[in-house]
Structure 1
Amino acid sequence: MSESFSKKENQKKRAKKKQDKAQKIEERKTNNNKGKAMEDMMAYIDENGNLTSTPPDMRNRKEINPDDIRLGAAAIIEEDPQRSGIVAVYNEAKGFGFITDDETREDLFFHSSQLAQPVKQRDRVTFEKEKTARGFSAVRINKVSK
């Protein structure tokens, strides 16, 4: 029995696929990367944290004392809650002002509702620093008598 044209074409396609597959297997075997030398696979990190193919220079090596390495978060230093400063600006009509902290030299906002006694500009005061939604503010403000 003779074969039809389409059967012959299908057989040719299958033979071609089989040959291509055998060729790919042979290429993989010849281009195999297994068995590389250890030096070819090594990567080093230089003093700046970049990857490099050359080993680091051991002459520039710094000794680190393991006791100097701190693990975990930094310790929280408790501040003295009572601070002192000078009223830098005070708008009595609007009911707010700023106090310059003696220690940090930063200006802290305050509202007149936090005043124990009435104050005016350049008065010396004691206060507590408190974190608010808009930053730090001065609260519990007392005027220092001279």
Structure 2
Amino acid sequence: MAKSQQTFSKSEKEKKRLKKREDKRKKMEARKLEKEENGSEGIPMAYVDHNGNLTDTPPDPAMKVKVKAKNIVLGVPTKEESDEDPFDPIRTGKVSFYDSSKGFGFIIDTETNEKHFTHVSGIIDEIIENDKVTFELEKGQRGMNAVRVKKV
């Protein structure tokens, strides 16, 4: 006696496929009925007016702004030079903490009130807490470090 080629999993997959097809057909019929009852034509159209707002009316073509291709600039805009550079390499600050035995401390920038780490290797003059100092910033492992620190 020959065994059936139809396995249990094949028949289950076939049942699922047929059920899915039937559900899809029912949803389509329900949408058609709702359309006939409400008189709706489906999803309403939304337009974007010249200010970028969503509206239900088409935008007025007279309000459309024309942009010439030659006026479009690609790339980074050129930087205008000013007399006073905000990123002056030499900054002033106050020593908020310094441990001479461990060889590190922190300096608070007077302009930005940011706290910067400083190490004994970047200190030129001997400093203690509350000293007014000048320093330069350099990128370190965990942020900007104060280097070339001098007493004012």
Q: Is 1:116 paired with 2:124?
A: yes
**In structure 2, how many angstroms separate the alpha carbons of the residues matched to 1:70 and 1:122?**
50
Q: Give the drift of 1:92.
A: 1.4
Structure-2-length-normalised TM-score: 0.50
Deviations 1:88-110 (A, max 9, x none): 11111211111000111100010
5 Å-filtered alignment, 1:53-132, equals: 54-56=57-59, 72-73=75-76, 75=79, 79-132=87-140
SS across alignment from 1:121: coil
Q: 2:48 aligns with which of 45, 49, 54?
A: 45
> In 2 relative to 1, CA 70–124 (structure 1 residues): closer, same or farther, beyond 3 Å?
farther
Query: Larger Cα Rg: Structure 1 or Structure 2?
Result: 1
Q: Is 1:139 paired with 2:147?
A: yes
Identity of aligned residues (%): 47
User: Gaps spanning 5+ residues in structure 2: where?
Assistant: 1-44
Q: Give the drift of 1:122.
A: 0.2
**In structure 1, how many angstroms separate the alpha carbons of the residues matched to 2:110 and 2:136?**
13
**In structure 2, how many angstroms separate the alpha carbons of the residues matched to 1:43 and 1:105?**
50
Deviations 1:54-101 (A, max 9, x none): 43489xx8x9xx9xx975335387521011000011111211111000
SS across alignment from 2:121: helix
Q: 2:25 is matched with which residue?
A: none
**In structure 2, how many angstroms separate the alpha carbons of the residues matched to 1:133 and 1:121?**
24
SS across alignment from 2:58: coil
The number of residues matched between the two structures is 99
Structure-1-length-normalised TM-score: 0.52
| CA RMSD of superposed structures (Å) | 3.8
Deviations 1:5-57 (A, max 9, x none): xxxxxxxxxxxxxxxxxxxxxxxxxxxxxxxxxxxxx874355687x764348
> In 2 relative to 1, CA 97–71 (structure 1 residues): closer, same or farther, beyond 3 Å?
same
> In 2 relative to 1, CA 53–83 (structure 1 residues): closer, same or farther, beyond 3 Å?
same
User: Gaps spanning 5+ residues in structure 1: where?
Assistant: 1-41
**In structure 1, how many angstroms separate the alpha carbons of the residues matched to 2:148 and 2:52?**
49
4+ runs deviating over 4 angstroms: 46-50
SS across alignment from 1:120: coil
